[in-house]
Amino acid sequence: MSGPREECGIVGVTSHRRAAEWVYLGLYALQHRGQESAGIVAANAGNALARRGMGLVAEVFDEASLERLEGTAAIGHNRYSTTGSPTLANAQPILVNYRDGFLAVAHNGNLVNARTLRTRLEDAGSIFQSTMDTEVLVHLIAASRQPSRDLAVLEALDQLAGAFSFLILTPDALYAARDPYGFRPLSVGRRGETIVVASETCALDLVGAQFEREVEPGEVIKVTPGGNVATLRHEPADVECMCVFEQIYFARPDSVVFGMSAADARRGMGRELAREHPANGDCVFSVPDSSNAAAAGFAEQSGLPLEHGLIRNHYIGRTFIQPAQDVRDFGVKIKYNPVTSVIKGQRVVIVDDSIVRGTTSGALVRLVREAGAEEVHLRIASPPLRHPCYYGIDIPKRSELVAAQMSSDEIAARVGADSLAYLSFDGLYRAVGARDRHCDACFSGNYRVSVEPGIDDKAAFEPTIATGIPSPLGQ
């Protein structure tokens, strides 16, 4: 099923002459949150039009397709490549027509009770068109007996459990909602009467919208024409579960996430790492770009010179052709190349943000040694990643997580590093703030919002008849 492994970026724009163009720009800024598919729904006087496609934002849209997406309000979605088979039927936003007009939904996160809700809805006659947990929300709103759409939206959201930041577009309003625990980020910006709601503030920056505030945990806001923003409900849970992995890896460093600059958070993690696990090296460098800020913090604290020891190729699109000949570590080599003049004869300290399967670290250590490094010390700016995520980050199951199987020393031996050390929980939270406000289940196994049984079962939502099911999404 597509549920537990979804990472996404969402953007909504209201009261703008060409809303879809701004959503396009916002999605472009949020491309790091999802590269599998992209989509926009634009609304024009009670009618809505969708375009969705597989691939990067710039591959899915061109001038002509954007022009067709006329309207003064729009929402968009980037979806991350998941472990399940990528399919257009799972691209978002979802767009349906029901008795109250159109309804478009974009979701970032993962619902941990989607299977239960879906079974209940199917028993009552709902026909699902995708394998996405998100589709549950559409059915709940459509099935609601509440007298107004506002109340139907609130009632539907009430039934969901897990991690969600939602954008819901209807003929008269854009709703934006964050789950009561606040797992995923969602920010509101403004430029004149135009309101922009986006997963990360870097999307606001690109369109010149001024950051106003975050949607609060448990808050549902309603944006109506003319730039009016009203809180429909604000009922946070008694604990906060802000995803600490957003600060460690997922968010762009130029974004302010959960009230803190992700760049500052990572720099702090790097400083703490250097304090906890100094290394006898001649220089330090990052694995660009995700650990740039952490490496800068490590250098600052340790006094070691910060170098650019690895260069990253940014232009690996979906269409890249892998040569038939076997090239060892090709997947990593195509992305990173060592700078021999920086590395040769040096004792190098490589700072990375995390180790998942350990493939990258192993290949990088080999590359850096081949470039002549005397010693290679790996420093990881987060604790060992040992558990899957059920709240919207793509982290594989335990058997694939190297730190769930081996100690740091064993991992060091396996990847061929002279030493390897991870940041402690204390160090992490000295950098990002209170631990009890964060979710760190992927590191600790402490799942503070319980998950329905069988959520790991990838086949859970797969249709029994795989073909011939029309997508509700059209093109």
Q: Which residues bind ligand AMP (CB under 6 A)?
A: 249, 287, 290, 352-361, 393-395
Q: At closest approach, how far in Å is the CB of 361 from ligand AMP? A: 6
Question: Cα separation of 168 and 141, whole Å?
Answer: 11
Q: At closest approach, how far in Å is the CB of 178 from ligand AMP? A: 21
Q: At closest approach, how far in Å is the CB of 290 from ligand AMP? A: 4
Task: Give CA 26 to chain center in angstroms.
Answer: 14
Question: Cα separation of 243 and 179, whole Å?
Answer: 12
For ligand AMP, the closer of residues 359 and 424 by Cβ is 359
Q: Which of 114, 121, 201, 126 is nearest to 160 (CA)?
A: 114
Question: Cα separation of 212 and 73, whole Å?
Answer: 19
C-alpha distances (whole Å) from 76 to each of 148, 167, 172, 210, 467 are: 25, 9, 17, 19, 26
For ligand AMP, the closer of residues 206 and 356 by Cβ is 356
H or E stretch at 176 = strand 174-178
C-alpha distances (whole Å) from 40 to each of 75, 80, 95, 343 are: 6, 15, 10, 45
Q: Which of 20, 48, 40, 198 is nearest to 108 (CA)?
A: 198
Q: How far apart are the first and last CA of the chain?
A: 23
Q: Which residue has the tokens 């039927």?
A: 89
Determine how β-strand 347-352 pairs with β-strand 310-312. Answer: unpaired
For ligand AMP, the closer of residues 152 and 402 by Cβ is 402
H or E stretch at 168 = strand 162-169
For ligand AMP, the closer of residues 134 and 354 by Cβ is 354
439 is catalytic: no
For ligand AMP, the closer of residues 287 and 365 by Cβ is 287
Q: Which residue has the tokens 């694939």?
A: 400
Decide if 384 contacts 422 (C-beta within 8 A).
Answer: yes
Question: Cα separation of 444 and 425, whole Å?
Answer: 9
Q: At closest approach, how far in Å is the CB of 74 from ligand AMP? A: 27
Q: At closest approach, how far in Å is the CB of 379 from ligand AMP? A: 12
Q: Give just the sign of the alpha carbon dihedral 282, 287, 289, 291.
A: negative
Q: At closest approach, how far in Å is the CB of 355 from ligand AMP? A: 5
* Residues assigned a catalytic role: 8
